[in-house]
Every structure is written in structure tokens, then in C-alpha cells.
Amino acid sequence: MSDQALKHCPPACVSCGLRKLDAFTPVTPDQLKYIEAFRSGFSQVDAGATVIHEGSPNGKLFTLYSGWAFRYKTLSDGRRQILNFLLPGDFIGLQQEFADGAMHGIEAITGITLCVFPRDGLLELFRDYPSLGFDVTWLASREEGMVDDALLSAGRRTAAESIAMLLMHLYRRVQRLGLERGADAEGASIEFPINQQHIADALGLSLVHTNKTLRRLHKLGLHEIRDGQLRLHNTRALERIADYYDRPLRKVPLL
């Protein structure tokens, strides 16, 4: 499936392009119908625009259908921390419902398409389709796992280790979605719409240091970022540097 086909969210979940991907657990026709009824519509957000404002207590629930986005928090003087990157299939907005701490914002990196769900239908979903409720928990828990990893990077990894980790992590996630670009002369690659400022904010580094470290890894022949594409030239080395080894991939639920 080309990612071109994923640009726009189709009106009916039955013809959902995402769901056809191998990465997601299949659902029964019943469940699919319920999800479609639960969904209140879809929405598009331009690159760079804010999907959910930091600290806004209300909002809807979303499934990211296409494009990249990120969750973030900022301190009052403007220092920003990206909490994690959001890729197609990610469920958005749960914490807004629950957290009693301060909230996070969500910003689109590329233009994105979202399936929208009403916040107050969630309990009903748990009631009517417990296994879908279970899936929501699955997704929440999986996302927490990603933040755990990010915290390990920010807290204990060096800049080079963190960057190696992030490149591997994002590459693998895109790869699992089946969106890896077929091998051209230089090998496989993925779309990589984030800039060095995003990387810096995700890892708790300064922009300048991020640039220098990225440059160093590039000169070591580990990777290449060009024209919005990421190519990994030596995943073995990157894994070793990041001290991160991939687990067998599992299918992920999709709401």
C-alpha cells in the first residue's frame, strides 16, 4: 500500500486504508460497525498547526489517520519538551480526559488527518465492547512504554546514544506500519518530516549540539537524512550505540 492512499481518511471505516495494514489487529465486522458509529467524523490539520492546546481541559479523542504529529509540554519560559511522536494509528487525547497533572499539547508536523471520537462516548464503548476498551488500555500502556524509553534517553543516555535511539525507534515504527520506502540505489528509507529542532526538543538537547552530534553520526556512516528522508546505513551499530534491541513486533489495536 502506498502512503499516497493514506492521505485522506475515507468516510467509512470499512474502507479504512490504515486498517488494511498488516500492523493492526483485525476487528470483527460488529466491532467495526460500532467504531464507525462511535466516530463522529474526521478532521484535517495543517502542518505546524496545533491540534490540542496545552492545558485545554476538554477536547475530543482522535485516531491519527495520516501524517506525523507530536505531544509536548512547555515550561512557562518557553522551554519545550516533546513527549513522543505520533504516527498513523496512534490514539490521541486519553490523558486529557484523566490526568490531574498539567496537560500536554499536540502539534501537527506534516499535514495530518484525524478520525474524531466524542470524549463522552468512551465509557459507553467500554460497556458495549469490552474488548475495544481493553484495546484502549493497550494503546495507553504502549504509549507509556514509549515515554518510558524517552525518559531513559533524556535521563541517562548521552546525546549520541539518544539520537541513535530515536532514529532507530522512529524508523522501526514507520517500518512496522509498512511505510518503508522500497530500496532504491542507496537502500531503503522512510519519510522523515521532522527537523533538528524537533529532535532536540524530543531528547532534551540544544539545537546546536543536536546538529553537531547528528553530523558526527552521519560522518561515521551510520545514517543519512536528506530531502525529508531517513536512511539507516548501519542499524547494527546504531542499536549498539543506543543500547536498544528490537523486540519481535506485535500487532497493535486500532480504534
Residue closer to DNA, measured from CB, 78 or 101: 78
User: Helix, strand, or coil here: 65?
Assistant: strand
Any contact of residue 10 with DNA (CB under 7 A)? no
CB count in 10 Å sphere of residue 74: 15
Question: Shortest gap between Cβ of 2 and its own copies (angstroms)?
Answer: 26
Any contact of residue 125 with DNA (CB under 7 A)? no
Residue closer to DNA, measured from CB, 116 or 154: 154
- Positions in 166-195 near DNA (CB under 7 A): 195
Any contact of residue 237 with its own copies (CB under 8 A)? no
Residue closer to its own copies, measured from CB, 14 or 147: 147
Cα distances (angstroms) measured from residue 189 to each of 36, 193, 227, 232: 34, 12, 11, 7
Q: What are phi and psi of 253, to 5 degrees?
A: -70, 155
Triad 63, 68, 70: Cα angle to 5°: 85
Distance between CA atoms of 138 and 91, rounded to whole angstroms? 10
Triad 19, 26, 141: Cα angle to 5°: 90
The contacts of residue 180 (CB under 8 Å, 6+ apart) are 174, 188, 189, 190
Question: Shortest gap between Cβ of 111 and its own copies (angstroms)?
Answer: 26
**105-108, strands of its sheet edge to edge:** 50-52, 105-108, 69-74, 80-86
In terms of Cα–Cα distance, which of 64, 72, 14, 12 is closest to 43?
64
Binding region for its own copies (CB under 8 A) out of 19-27, 110-118, 200-208, 216-224: 200-208
From the list DNA, its own copies, none, pick the one residue 159 interacts with, judged by a Cβ distance below 5 to 8 Å according to partner type: DNA
Binding region for DNA (CB under 7 A) out of 64-72, 145-153, 154-162, 175-183: 154-162
From the list DNA, its own copies, none, pick the one residue 215 interacts with, judged by a Cβ distance below 5 to 8 Å according to partner type: DNA
Q: Which residues bind its own copies (CB under 8 A)?
A: 71, 73, 75-77, 79-81, 83, 94-95, 97-102, 104, 122-123, 126-127, 130-131, 133-134, 136-138, 140-152, 154-157, 201, 203-204, 243-245, 247-250
Q: Which residues bind DNA (CB under 7 A)?
A: 158-160, 195-197, 204-215
